[in-house]
Chains A and B, each alone.
Chain A
Amino acid sequence: MNNSWKLYNTNKTGDFFDELITDAGRPRAAARHAVKMLQSLSSKEMAARRQAAELAIREMGISFTIYSEGKNIDRAWPFDIIPRIIPAREWEKVSRGLAQRSRALNRFIDDIYNKQKILADGLLPADIVLESGNYKPECANVSPRYGAWAHICGTDLVRDRDGRFYVLEDNLRVPSGVSYMLENREITKRVLPELFKNHSILPVDDYPSRLYSTLASLSPREQRRPCIVVLTPGIFNSAYFEHAYLAQGMGAELVEGSDLFVDEDDCLYMLTVDGPERVDVVYRRIDDDFLDPETFREDSTLGVPGIMRAWKQGNVAIANAPGSGVADDKVVYAFVPEMIRYYLGEEPSLASVKTYLCMNEPDRDYVLANLDKLVVKPANESGGYGLMVGPHASKEKRAEFAKLIEKNPRNYIAQPTLSLSTAPTYIDDTVEPRHLDLRPFILQGKETWVTPGGLTRVALVKGSLVVNSSQGGGSKDTWIVEGKRK
């Protein structure tokens, strides 16, 4: 065994589930070949592979942008070369659970903007939903095709110490990261080609064509090739790379708001060198608030005046549909298992994390008394901003959050601190355990489809639980591996 792995088990302090190595220090069955091969590499060889990965990332221009000190910085994508491996048999169950969840969430959104049966039946309090900033009254009485609103959903999963997957949150507005999932596989193929010989790894690279089919199924006009565009806020957005990547992968146009306009016929057009061209489907990567200055924020220059009009008339499909965010509120999250029973008559097959709603007095009392054990999150922030990890927070920080909660209880939820699973990660010259999560993507159009695996994000800082790339996180290639191949 190569020296860099020697200390792996001694470094596994605390009781975490490790994705590749058992408590006895042996590789898990699905990861056996890969671990054996990686352990056979000398330190020099490992370093060379990492260097090759860095080179590939630079050359492929895989980057993300962070906003720091008033400047946009284009950073190379931080990538760990050791893949995370999940057996296909286990994944199948997770995948079914994700599809089930996505169906229920879409039924919920469609219900909320139409009959509001779930509120009438008292399953969850109406004010939670209707007073949330994510509920958009402008979307009422619209019925998108197939009742699908959140066509692309990124659901964050974590594994607790019991080895089970839990849903941490659903991202239904403009989830990002899928291009990194695809590029990570590309990089691994380049730098560790030997690994692919002994494994049967489910391919991920048909995602753009799946996305295309999903979007095409939404087109209001019956056309052999509907006109699909990806609407980006532009080059300064942190996910611009992904917008371009997906547009190219689908053969769609990558557009900015200024490329589009709504004509007097309430249809959407784009400006081309041959004149205006009718658009059928908009895969938008800008938030609701910026989508249409006629309806939402007047000062938005990113959006398209009148696009909501065109959408409501059924002249253009928008993915995700405006208003979908109503279901990714962290308070609403607590009710998803109930929704699954209510709309689908099924038991949820994926576990959710126990969630305390600060708006309920007993919950709030518990949260305030146990701030040092809990993770407190604002109900509508994403990207890991504004959250507090109790066990790691200072006294002052906890006092600050206690005040915030008392001032605006509706805006906060709390969850027990999960002990996120770890996986071997190549840090400096040694392989060490680092915490990670997983974001699979679920597509919902005429059909439902789940990515095999997803984007694994890893906290590169020792002991850290924050995996967001904007806050020092990296990522790993994620393998769903089928049974042994001889």
Chain B
Amino acid sequence: MIMLSRVAERLYWMARYLERAEDTARLTQAYTHLIMDIPAGSEPGWDILVRILDGEPIFGDKAFNEQNVLNFLIADEENPGSIRHCIRAARENVRTTRDVLPEEVWEHVNELFLYSQARARKSVGRRNRHQFLEQVTTRCQMINGLLMSTLCRDHAYRFIKLGHLLERADMATRVIDVGAGALLGTERLNKAVDPLIWASLLQSLSAMGTYRRTVGPLVEANSVVEFVFRERTLPRSVRFCLDGIREELVPLKNNTDALKILERSRRSLSRFNPETAGREGLHRFIDRFQLELNTLGGTISSTWFMPPRP
């Protein structure tokens, strides 16, 4: 099976953008619920959502109120991380790779695009927000399911999976970063609301049920970190994503560099100890880890998307 480097690149980015749209929708959804659960006065601020996604430079000096932040995450076309922008970018990538994807993929991605164009702006307020975020999540999952159940297990599938998993691993670390609380600021730390925060984060990863069954009913910081980082059976755990990336890198040619970086990340993940790290340490680890994932993305790109010409 032949796969053009350029096509591989576009499939990979399609997957990354779809995953980013879905994960941002999940995180926003969970966070909105969380804020409603916490008594007025002790609720964390909306700024966290912007910080967690490294969006401050684009967000600028606007006030971090609910309206501004949610508009930024959902509808702002200038923000490359906004749901609307991710969906548009995913569509552009599908538009130029339609020939290697099952036809329905284009139809569904295009419908999702038309939906977000029509609804994103109107869904910033609380009234319509829930429905919009749920639709985005559901539709992204439908497209994922379609890809998983129709794509041949060849290069197209491989690069799509790489894109999904790399993005998902990155987002999982960001979710944990919310809980790490370094961003919350000490004045906001409050033992009583802590379990609420961790539970809502698990919810954003669709992992609450599994957590209860495998770890137990009590939601507690260290075991959540442990679970989201290293539970090998959880499809949204960092470990699961890295294992999946490895699986797809192995059959590729010229994979030495990428595998080396991946193994390094896997090692640092397994060595990390949440018990001794403390919240500060956790946050610093996450920062470093995200850099490693970035390096891996860069290596994938220079190895397979921009191969040297003779």
Q: What residues of chain A have their CB less than 8 Å away from a CB belonging to chain B?
A: 58-61, 227, 235, 244-245, 247-248, 252-256, 258-259, 261, 263-264, 270-277
Known: A245-B99, A273-B307. 14 other contacts (CB 8 A): A58-B110, A244-B96, A248-B98, A248-B99, A253-B2, A253-B4, A256-B6, A259-B6, A270-B2, A271-B307, A271-B309, A273-B5, A273-B159, A274-B155
Residues B99 and A277 in contact, CB atoms below 8 Å apart: no
Which residue from B4, B111, B114, B310 sits with its C-beta under 8 Å from A255?
B4
| Inter-chain contacts of A264 with B (CB < 8 A) | 310
The CA of A252 and the CA of B110, in the complex, are separated in Å by: 23
Residues A227 and B107 in contact, CB atoms below 8 Å apart: no
Residues A277 and B2 in contact, CB atoms below 8 Å apart: yes
Interface check B289, CB cutoff 8 A: no
Count residues of chain B with CB under 8 A from any CB of chain A.
27
Residues 68-120 of B contacting A (Cβ, < 8 Å): 92, 95-96, 98-100, 103, 106-107, 110-111, 114
The CA of A244 and the CA of B100, in the complex, are separated in Å by: 9
Interface check B58, CB cutoff 8 A: no
Query: Can you name 23 A-B residue pairings with CB atoms under 8 Å?
Result: A59-B107, A59-B110, A59-B111, A235-B92, A248-B99, A248-B103, A252-B99, A253-B7, A258-B6, A259-B5, A264-B310, A270-B2, A270-B4, A272-B2, A272-B3, A272-B4, A272-B5, A274-B2, A274-B3, A274-B155, A275-B307, A276-B310, A277-B2
Given A247-B99, A261-B310, are A273 and B252 neighbors across the interface (CB < 8 Å)? yes
Interface check B272, CB cutoff 8 A: no
Tell me the smallest distance from the CB of A41 to a CB of chain B, in Å: 27
The CA of A258 and the CA of B2, in the complex, are separated in Å by: 16
Residues B96 and A235 in contact, CB atoms below 8 Å apart: yes
Interface check B253, CB cutoff 8 A: yes
9 cross-chain pairs, A with B, having the tightest CB-CB distances, nearest first = A248-B99, A247-B99, A254-B99, A273-B304, A271-B5, A244-B98, A61-B110, A273-B3, A273-B8
Given A58-B114, A60-B107, A61-B106, are A271 and B310 neighbors across the interface (CB < 8 Å)? no
Residues A275 and B253 in contact, CB atoms below 8 Å apart: yes
Tell me the smallest distance from the CB of B236 to a CB of chain A, in Å: 27
> Do most interface residues of chain B lie in helix, strand or loop, or is the interface mixed?
helix
The CA of A248 and the CA of B96, in the complex, are separated in Å by: 11
Give the residue name and chain of the A residue nearest to B94 (CB): A61
Give the residue name and chain of the A residue nearest to B9 (CB): A273
Residues B6 and A274 in contact, CB atoms below 8 Å apart: no
| Inter-chain contacts of B159 with A (CB < 8 A) | 273
Most buried by B among A227, A255, A272, A277: A272
Tell me the smallest distance from the CB of A269 to a CB of chain B, in Å: 8
| Inter-chain contacts of B155 with A (CB < 8 A) | 273-274
Tell me the smallest distance from the CB of A164 to a CB of chain B, in Å: 40
The CA of A453 and the CA of B252, in the complex, are separated in Å by: 46
| Inter-chain contacts of A270 with B (CB < 8 A) | 2, 4
Tell me the smallest distance from the CB of B150 to a CB of chain A, in Å: 14
| Inter-chain contacts of A247 with B (CB < 8 A) | 99
The CA of A58 and the CA of B107, in the complex, are separated in Å by: 9
The CA of A272 and the CA of B7, in the complex, are separated in Å by: 9
Tell me the smallest distance from the CB of A127 to a CB of chain B, in Å: 43
Give the residue name and chain of the B residue nearest to A256 (CB): B6
| Inter-chain contacts of B6 with A (CB < 8 A) | 256, 258-259, 271
| Inter-chain contacts of B3 with A (CB < 8 A) | 272-274
Give the residue name and chain of the B residue nearest to A279 (CB): B2
Give the residue name and chain of the A residue nearest to B304 (CB): A273
Tell me the smallest distance from the CB of B169 to a CB of chain A, in Å: 22
The CA of A258 and the CA of B6, in the complex, are separated in Å by: 9
| Inter-chain contacts of B307 with A (CB < 8 A) | 271, 273, 275
| Inter-chain contacts of A61 with B (CB < 8 A) | 95, 106-107, 110
